[in-house]
Structure 1
Amino acid sequence: MKKIQEQHRIYGYVGITNEYNTSKTCLFCFSRVVLHRTCQTIDGRKQVVCLNGVIEYIHPQYPARRINHTTRERDANAAANIALSEASVILAADCQPLPPFRHDANHTRYNLANELLSVVTPELVPRDSIRDE
C-alpha cells in the first residue's frame, strides 16, 4: 500500500485507510455504538430484535440524548467516519488516522502536520494533545 500511496501523491493528497472501527464508533464523540434494538411481534410473541441497519448511541452524556435523537443509519455513520479517518491521515505528520480508528488501542495521541500547527486555534485543540517539537 505504501508504494501505491506514494505514486498517487504525485497527483494529489491520498489517504488510504482501512475501515477499522468506522461502523462501531460515534462520529461526534468517538464512543462505542451498538445496533439498535426494538420490540417486534413475531409469531404472536413480543421479542427484542436488533435492527442491522441502525445504530444507537449509548454514551450517557451524548448531547442528542436530551432531544431523544439517539439513532442513526449505520452506513451513513460509517461513511462519515471513513471520510474523517482518511482526512486525519492526510492531516497527520505520521500519516496515521485518529486514535479511535487505529488497531493499536493504546495509542491516544495524534500528530498534526507541522504546516497545520500554525493555523490550529488553541480553543479547538488542546495544546497537550498535539506534539511539541
Structure 2
Amino acid sequence: MKVSQRTEYGLRAMVAIAAAAGTDHPVPLRAIAEAEGIPEQFLDQIVAQLRRAGFVKSVRGVNGGYMLSRPAADISVGDLVRVLEGSLAPIGCIREEVAAEEFCGRIRKCHTRNVWLRVMQAVTRALDSISLADVMMDEVAVQEVGGS
C-alpha cells in the first residue's frame, strides 16, 4: 500500500490540530501550513474533506481556524486514511465498491486473492487500532526500515 501525499499531509494536519485540543483556540490553516511545510491551498482542500467527514470543525472570524470535532481518542488513523485515501484494498478485486466478478474474470479460480484480502485485513486492523491520541503520545523513535 502506498500512501498518498494527501493522506500524509492530512494526518500531519490532524496532529497539529489535536495538539491544540482542549485549549479552546482554533488552529489557523496558515499556521498549520507553515509549521508542517504543506502548501496552503492543498491543505485547504484536505481540511475541507476532513471537515465534511466530521473530524474537524471550523471557527470563522479573526481568531478562526480548525478544532477537532471530537476527542482525539475517538478518531482512528484508519478512519482518517479511509476518508483521505479511499479503499485500503491493495488490488482492485477486493475493493468493496467493485463487484469482484466484474473486476476480473478469474475470481472463481484465483488462488492469490486471499493473499490480498489478508493484507488488507492486517493493514485495516493496524490502522484502526491507532487513535489520533496514540499518535500524539508516541514519543518512541522509530527506526527507518532498511536502516542500520
For the criterion TM > 0.5, the same-fold answer is no
Q: Could you state the TM-score of these two structures normalised by the residue count of structure 1?
A: 0.28
**Higher RCO, 1 or 2 (CA under 8 Å, sep at least 6)?**
2
User: Which one has the bigger strand percentage?
Assistant: 1
User: Which one has the bigger helix percentage?
Assistant: 2
